[in-house]
């Protein structure tokens, strides 16, 4: 249980402990408790305060503790580090180097947060409050100029002016499709009927994506503020926030935020003393990726099965219960307050011609600095992956970056200098999507990647239209065969055909984009497919049916460790004599590679498989 702590004005130091899901899973609450205990024990509690904040974004390095006002950044802090940290830094004033971020082996630790590459190159608009406020305390949000944009919108602007501002800012939907937000609001406003709804799409189903989760957990009020401004502009009386139930912390925080906002007269009847009334309900999803699709989402809110319906008619014409409904992503809503308070001109000065503002990406995969990054549109892939991400671990070679989750595509090395925006990504066959960015190195098999994503979309397909339900099934079957060494001539051409047809005739976005991973990997990595099919070779050494584990006779010292650890007794050899792996029995689990001592490194994978 977190106790609400009010700021101690006399504190000379504030310790901000990250309480995003990642750090919480890594026991950051225990770290906080231990800090408070230790600080009290050292008699420092009158001068040093400890707070929890939302996700810092550098999730790989959690638990994270930041010391302000110095901006010292501590990472991977565990409970047992606390006494030393309190004594050394807080009492004696000597920051602890061992807890600081090191950009690489034999490189100096970087004490200040703003000097770390991961943070230096980011431009925080949506995540402006991350790491600096307690998301369960509305006063802190207000303290950081929260709800001032709302006041401006309600008292000094007309709905038409609000919409014009958002239009001129050039904000585009951050959920994936990138539709112009201002235009959508205008269409909804102009739709006939008095009853209107707005919806915040927090279903975030892409595997590996956690941008929306972070925003809801770290700064829920920014989303609420955006929604209230939007409701005023559109003329809606009721809003729904649809969050997937796999995000219990996000659900908890947004509900607390709503309660607090209602208490302060920011939600409910007569907001901020005006005659505008608006209320928000939180609805939880029930485990279906397809419910991130707007028509399925609306069906789910209405208590029906999450099955999409063809569009047109679009939700802005006919949405929830047949009424005009405006649906925007969490990140889109969170952009709105800044646009209103700092103006469209400011917002449109960031980004590229067609894509304004910033975008949050979840940078994951084979990358040194895993986490959430917010960068201006137009930044290149190279900058994100190498300057912010710190490059590929183990000095491996970059192979591809997958953007847009299961709806997106893989972008190869040659396109690393591609500036990131909606159009450029679509042109190369991928898409922005919700912002997933999975980095792949030389040990990633592109055929396997396509198979992985297609497996996902197959299982998540709602089953209504044959294009998606059966089109993805046929593609998965072919990819299964290819990765199993049973590919044959004609498979590639057939895959392409199915992919294109599924793309064109599927009912909803899930089916329409399901083929993208296949089509882009075929476009840029066709050779890899051909090797799988014709040479039965997996160059990345991933596909089990196409690889063999072998012991290099020149390197093996006969230490017998691998033979002892092998779970299927497939390794034979006398002590101090070269060992061999019996290919007929080997189950390719990889334990032998892991246990072979570093100095020998005698076990390796080869492809094609040996007999």
Partner 1 sequence: MIKLQINDKEVVAKKGESVLEVAQRNNIYIPTLCYYKGLSAYGGCRICLVEVEGYQRPVTACTLPVHEGMKVKTESQLLKKLRRFNLQLILSEHPHACLICNQESECARYQECIQKTPITFGCKFCPSNGDCELQKLVDLLEIKEIPFTFSHRKLEVEKYDPFFERDYNLCILCGRCVRVCNEIRGAGTLDFHHRGPETLVGTAFNLPHLETGCQFCGACVDICPTGALRDRYSKWRGLQDRWVKTSCALCSIGCAIKLNIREDNLVNSAPDDNQICVRGRYGIVPLVYHPKRITTPLLKKGKRLIQVDWKTAMDFLCTKLSEHSGKTGILFSSQLTTEAIDAIGSLRDNFIITALPADNDVRPFSFKDIKSEAVFILLNTDMVSDFSPLLLTLRSRIKTKPIFIVIDAMETQGAKIADFWLRPEPGKEQDLLNQLFARGKTGNRSGVSAGDIAWCKGLLDNKNVYVLYNAFNIENIELPKHVRALPMTSMVNALPISKLHLKNSAIDLLQDQDIDCLYLIGTAPKLNKKYQTIIVQDCFLPGFDLDLFLPAATFTETNGSFVNIEGKSKKLRKAIEPLGYAKPDEWIIEQVRRDLQSSVRTGKIRKKRREKNSNLSRTSKKYPFRLITRENCYTYRGHTLASLLKGFERLRQDNHVWLNKQTAKRLKAHNDTEVMVIGEDISVLLPVMISDQVPDNSVFIYAHQSLGMIKSQPVKIKVVKKQS
Chain positions contacting partner 1, by CB under 8 A? 288, 290, 305, 309-310, 312-313, 458-467, 469-471, 473-474, 477, 494, 501, 503-507, 512
Minimal distance, residue 194 CB to partner 1, in Å: 19
**Exposed, middle or buried: residue 432 (CB in 10 Å: 0-12, 13-18, 19+)?**
buried
Residue owning tokens 């409050």: 129
Minimal distance, residue 471 CB to partner 1, in Å: 6
Residue with smaller CB distance to partner 1, 512 or 548: 512
Minimal distance, residue 244 CB to partner 1, in Å: 16
Distance between CA 219 and CA 140 in Å, rounded?
10
Question: DSSP assignment of 137-179, as one string?
Answer: -HHHHHHTTTTHHHHHHHHH--HHHHHHHHHHHT-B-TTTT--
Residue with smaller CB distance to partner 1, 298 or 373: 298
361 sits in which H/E element: strand 358-365
Distance between CA 403 and CA 149 in Å, rounded?
33
Distance between CA 428 and CA 444 in Å, rounded?
20
Distance between CA 16 and CA 30 in Å, rounded?
14
Residue with smaller CB distance to partner 1, 28 or 472: 472
Strands 325-329 and 197-202: parallel
Residue owning tokens 């000597």: 94
Size of the chain in residues: 611
Residue with smaller CB distance to partner 1, 195 or 470: 470
Residue with smaller CB distance to partner 1, 34 or 491: 491
- Token pair for residue 596? 């072979």
Residue with smaller CB distance to partner 1, 387 or 480: 480
Minimal distance, residue 202 CB to partner 1, in Å: 21
Residue with smaller CB distance to partner 1, 177 or 589: 177
86 sits in which H/E element: none
Neighbouring-strand partners of residue 48: 13
98 sits in which H/E element: none
Residue with smaller CB distance to partner 1, 74 or 314: 314
Residue with smaller CB distance to partner 1, 215 or 290: 290
DSSP-derived secondary structure letter, 357? S
DSSP three-state, residue 238: strand
- Token pair for residue 599? 């100095």
Residue with smaller CB distance to partner 1, 144 or 452: 452
Question: DSSP assignment of 258-306, as one string?
Answer: HHHHHHTTSSBSSGGGSS--BEEEEEE--S-GGGGSHHHHHHHHTTS--
Residue with smaller CB distance to partner 1, 104 or 490: 490
Minimal distance, residue 177 CB to partner 1, in Å: 11
Distance between CA 87 and CA 78 in Å, rounded?
15
Is the Cβ–Cβ distance between 162 and 228 less than 8 Å?
Answer: no
Is the Cβ–Cβ distance between 468 and 536 less than 8 Å?
Answer: no
- Residue of 496, 503, 518 lying closest to 410 (CA atoms): 518
What's the distance, CA 333 to chain centroid? Answer: 17
Residue with smaller CB distance to partner 1, 104 or 193: 193
Is the Cβ–Cβ distance between 434 and 458 less than 8 Å?
Answer: no
């Amino acid at each position: 249980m977190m106790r609400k702590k009010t700021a101690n004005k006399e504190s000379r130091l504030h310790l901000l402990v990250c309480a995003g899901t990642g750090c919480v899973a890594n026991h950051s609450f225990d770290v906080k408790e231990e800090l408070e205990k230790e600080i009290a024990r050292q008699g420092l509690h009158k001068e040093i305060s400890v707070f929890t904040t939302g996700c810092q974004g550098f999730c790989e390095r959690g638990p994270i503790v930041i010391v302000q006002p110095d901006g010292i950044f501590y990472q991977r802090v565990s409970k047992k580090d606390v006494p030393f940290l309190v004594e050394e830094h807080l009492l004696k004033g000597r920051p602890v180097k061992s807890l600081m971020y090191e950009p690489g082996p034999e490189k100096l630790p970087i004490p200040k947060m703003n000097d770390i590459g991961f943070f230096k190159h980011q431009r925080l608009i949506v995540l402006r409050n991350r790491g600096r406020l307690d998301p369960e305390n509305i006063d802190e949000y207000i303290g950081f100029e929260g709800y001032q944009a709302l006041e401006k919108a309600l008292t000094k602007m007309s709905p038409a002016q609000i919409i014009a501002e958002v239009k001129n800012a050039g904000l585009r939907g951050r959920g994936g499709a990138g539709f112009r937000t201002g235009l959508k609001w205008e269409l909804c406003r102009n739709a006939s009927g008095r009853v209107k709804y707005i919806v915040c799409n927090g279903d975030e189903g892409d595997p590996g994506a956690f941008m929306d989760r972070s925003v809801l957990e770290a700064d829920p009020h920014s989303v609420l503020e955006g929604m209230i401004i939007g409701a005023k502009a559109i003329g809606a009386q009721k809003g729904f926030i649809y969050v997937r139930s796999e995000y219990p912390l996000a659900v908890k925080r947004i509900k607390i935020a709503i309660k607090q906002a209602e208490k302060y007269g920011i939600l409910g009847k007569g907001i901020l003393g005006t005659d505008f009334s608006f209320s928000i309900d939180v609805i939880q999803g029930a485990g279906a990726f397809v419910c991130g699709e707007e028509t399925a989402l609306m069906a789910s809110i209405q208590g029906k099965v999450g099955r999409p319906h063809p569009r047109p008619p679009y939700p802005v014409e006919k949405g929830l219960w047949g009424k005009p409904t405006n649906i925007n992503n969490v990140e889109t809503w969170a952009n709105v307050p800044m646009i209103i308070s700092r103006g469209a001109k400011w917002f449109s000065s960031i980004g590229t011609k067609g894509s304004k503002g910033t975008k949050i990406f979840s940078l994951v995969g084979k990358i040194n600095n895993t986490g959430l990054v917010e960068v201006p549109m137009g930044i290149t892939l190279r900058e994100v992956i190498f300057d912010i991400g710190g490059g590929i671990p183990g000095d491996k070679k970059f192979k591809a970056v997958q953007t847009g989750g299961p709806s997106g595509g893989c972008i190869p090395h040659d396109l690393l200098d591609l500036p990131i925006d909606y159009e450029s990504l679509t042109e190369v066959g991928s898409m922005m999507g919700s912002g997933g960015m999975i980095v792949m190195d030389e040990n990633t098999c592109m055929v396997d990647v396509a198979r992985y994503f297609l497996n996902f979309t197959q299982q998540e397909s709602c089953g209504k239209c044959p294009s998606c339900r059966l089109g993805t099934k046929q593609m998965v079957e072919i990819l299964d065969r290819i990765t199993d060494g049973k590919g044959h001539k004609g498979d590639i051409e057939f895959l392409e055909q199915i992919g294109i047809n599924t793309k064109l005739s599927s009912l909803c976005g899930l089916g329409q984009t399901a083929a993208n991973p296949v089509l882009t990997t075929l476009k840029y990595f066709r050779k890899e497919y051909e090797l799988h099919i014709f040479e039965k070779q997996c160059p990345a050494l991933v596909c089990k049916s196409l690889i063999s584990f072998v012991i290099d006779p020149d390197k093996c010292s006969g230490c017998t460790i691998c033979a002892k650890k092998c779970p299927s007794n497939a390794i034979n050899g006398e002590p101090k004599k070269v060992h061999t792996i019996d290919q007929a029995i080997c189950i390719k689990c990889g334990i032998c590679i892991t246990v072979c001592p570093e100095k020998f490194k005698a076990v390796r994978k080869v492809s094609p498989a040996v007999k």
